[in-house]
Structure 1
Amino acid sequence: MEDPLSLEQCAGRLERRGFRSFVVPDLRAAAEVMRGLVREFRPSSASYGDSMTLKDAGILDDLRSNPDIQFYDGFVPGMVREEKWEIRRQGMTADLFLTGVNAVSMEGTLHWVDMVGNRVAPVAFGPRRVILLAGSNKLVATPAEARERIRRIAPLNARRHEGFRTPCMHTGICADCNSPDRLCNIHMSIVKCFPEGRISVILMEEPGGL
């Protein structure tokens, strides 16, 4: 019987839509694929969007310590917001951008929600190469299920941010609110990669992140 949420089948459909795709067993293997892609791309500059799984992989530490790569890190603890945002703007023109994704559909489409846009904007345009990392928990059957998954994880994501005040933090249910601290301001989907091969998607058999 065909697995309705097969990572291998999803990877094939991503390839047909112009993405490069890789299926790996775990975070350690994902990190090795990312390191291989960095060696292939040979970027002179790199940046990233907030991703719990990406941080756990250790690839950001590699980029940060590489003397040949200008690393734009707009997530340094203690940095004032205006400085963080300026560094993230600079990172939008980096050679390489890395981040996660909120949902991947079996149709081969990618889906995000973002507060400011610094995570999704460079994926859509700017950096010459993009690497995305997704655990098996991000895989859903359809784009409609991807949107529903995003609604379900929004309260969990809000609780990660100390000092934020949104209704979902208390109810656990997305209320499509108008809070000043609302995190899900920007929704983005990519249904085809252009130019072909610009975006690499690494799918892990183990779960990762929210």
Structure 2
Amino acid sequence: MTADPQTASPSASPCLPQKRPLPAWLLLLLLTALLYLPGTGDIPLMDRDEPRFAHATMEMMQRDTWLIPYFNGEYRFDKPPLTYWWMRLHYLLLGFNELAARLHSVVAVWLVAMVVFRTGKRLFSLTAGWWASVGWLTCLQALIHGRLCVADMPMVLCVTLAMAPWWSSSPGGRCQAAASRQPGGSSGSRSALASWPRAPLLCSYPCWRCCYGGSLSGANRHHGGGWAWAGACS
């Protein structure tokens, strides 16, 4: 006599919940911490720029000002105050130490990786997004400047955030009218790239134009386009 499937015990036909994969932001955060945090707080501030950024932030906190940076009692208008604000937050959380002074660069590297991943996934494929973000995290310039108390990584983050909407609207004809105003593409995108000489995405626009010239078809966008995006971000 066989048991009724509807009245069978749960052990006879177990329905175990499947494990959900870790979200992309958490995986990228773990990879960033693994690559950028070890030793970042142990190495003393080097060169001339790191001590200037660190001490200028301390003087702003001592003077209780948010707008005017100081260094050795004198005005320091060499850089905009965004980096000082970011460092000030970490000083309040972690105290005055090397890790707190450099943590803003590490966080900026992770945020850039998130933008690169989401843009690559939206334009091409999930694989392209992962390869592009990993390529960015292992880029030599990112590994160097992402562990320094300077303003380079916040600058790269801001320009990446500014470029991401353009990248998202260009392929597939979603911004065909704006892209066709000039044979070489929009002048705004070229000027934005020209103002970012150190950024790893500098070669992304010419790489895209050389590979496809105009709009991308669905098949090419998910295969060849993904490799172009991953290579440009690395």
Range into which the TM-score falls when normalised by the shorter chain: under 0.3
Which structure carries more helix by proportion? 2
Q: Which has the higher strand share?
A: 1
Rg (Cα) greater in structure: 2
Q: Please, what TM-score do these two structures have when normalized by structure 2?
A: 0.23
